[in-house]
Amino acid sequence: MTRNLPTLADIHCPELTQALRHKLDNKTKPLGSLGRLEDLALKLGQILGTETPALEQPQMVVFAADHGLAARGVSAFPSDVTWQMVENFLAGGAAVSVLARQHGLALTVVDCGVKHDFLAGLPEGAARPGLQVRKVAQGTADSSAQPAMTAVQCAQAVAHGQELLRGLPGNALLLGEMGIGNTSAASLLLARLAGLDIALCTGAGTGLDAPAVQRKTEVLREVLQRHASATAPLDALAALGGLEIATMVGAVLQAAHERRVVVVDGFIATSAVLVAHALQPLVLQRCVFAHRSGERGHEFMLQHLGVQALLDLGLRLGEGSGGALAWPLLKSACAILREMASFESAGVSEKSVTEPLAQ
């Protein structure tokens, strides 16, 4: 299954990194006074390979699919909400729709495996604006009874993500998702790939109360036991994951291959990066983590990957909403590098070098 995955090169160039640091250190400000915004600017320059990074034609892509495991009561909402929310995205009424409009992000919704025909009633070959159909199946199978996907379905979903990304313009990908039951898939992937107990990885998802979270945890423990031999990244993805997560994995790998900036939303999007990182560790060089989700397992994902998120607002909506909210920080970081004057160009005196006080 791995033979068609793109290879990644190390993007860390010592000469460029030194030039970026010098440029940031010589802006008209005290050294390091823009804090983590300077780290972000440095990273964006490294990803895009330039001292003057500019983010062009950013693409917010929402990957949607259904989960057979939802039949086990692991979500507070019925599966029909998946297709209903896709319609809400397309109508422009969802949170991510509003934020994408606000920030000038092109929004694409991808049907990776929703149990619904979004083209019903349209002429053959017709399309709907903002929707791409890359359906592998009518949702995954119930992973408590069998693998969520076959190896072929998983490989097809990953390939769809790569193909989709190759057809989109721009140099930045913002990850979004929709799928009732997908916090369960993300929790399972975290437990398996990070070697954590499932109780640490399982949260309320769409709003389960404490007893329901306990029942959800027991179901997920059963799933892990059933698929105990699925330990390799793609084997775990096929057995435990969702079609939208697998498609996201392909998109992340392709975006990283093309040196696009990958803006990672919350728990579900990070689970796709978790798999992509297990396949290609250099993926992380291209990723900016938008926020720390309020979903229980996300902090453990971030710790496992050794990364820090930009925002911590208690968000747990998904959809790509956190990525859209963090987007202005990326724009600001690039603008600082490109437009802020240096001490020399502005004619501003630099910090004085003083002799130490006499003892």
Whichever domain contains 105, its CATH number is 3.40.50.10210
- The whole-number pLDDT of residue 345 equals 85
Q: Is residue 111 part of a domain?
A: yes
Q: Is residue 357 part of a domain?
A: no
Same domain, 26 and 171: no
Same domain, 201 and 285: yes
Q: Is residue 258 part of a domain?
A: yes
Q: Is residue 355 part of a domain?
A: no
Same domain, 259 and 235: yes
Give the pLDDT mean for 205-221: 93
Same domain, 35 and 92: no
Tell whether pTM > 0.85: yes
- The whole-number pLDDT of residue 1 equals 46
Q: Is residue 354 part of a domain?
A: no
Is 319 assigned a catalytic role? yes
Parent domain of 40: 14-53+337-346
Same domain, 165 and 313: yes
Q: Which of 319, 344, 350, 355 is catalytic?
A: 319
- One-letter amino acid at 118 equals F
pLDDT in tens, 230-255: 999 999 999 999 999 999 999 999 99
Which of 157, 158, 133, 145 lies closest to 70 in space, CA to CA?
A: 145
pLDDT in tens, 92-103: 999 999 999 999
Q: Is residue 225 part of a domain?
A: yes
Q: Is residue 199 scored above 70 in pLDDT?
A: yes
Same domain, 218 and 189: yes
Whichever domain contains 48, its CATH number is 1.10.1610.10
Same domain, 18 and 140: no
Q: Is residue 272 part of a domain?
A: yes
Q: Is residue 358 part of a domain?
A: no
Would you state the structure tokens that stand for residue 150, as one six-digit string? Answer: 């076959």
Which of 56, 133, 125 lies closest to 90 in space, CA to CA?
A: 133
- The whole-number pLDDT of residue 357 equals 57
Q: Is residue 350 scored above 90 in pLDDT?
A: no
pLDDT in tens, 102-140: 999 999 999 999 999 999 999 988 899 999 999 999 999
Same domain, 48 and 68: no
Same domain, 40 and 132: no
**Count: domains in the chain:** 2
Same domain, 40 and 135: no
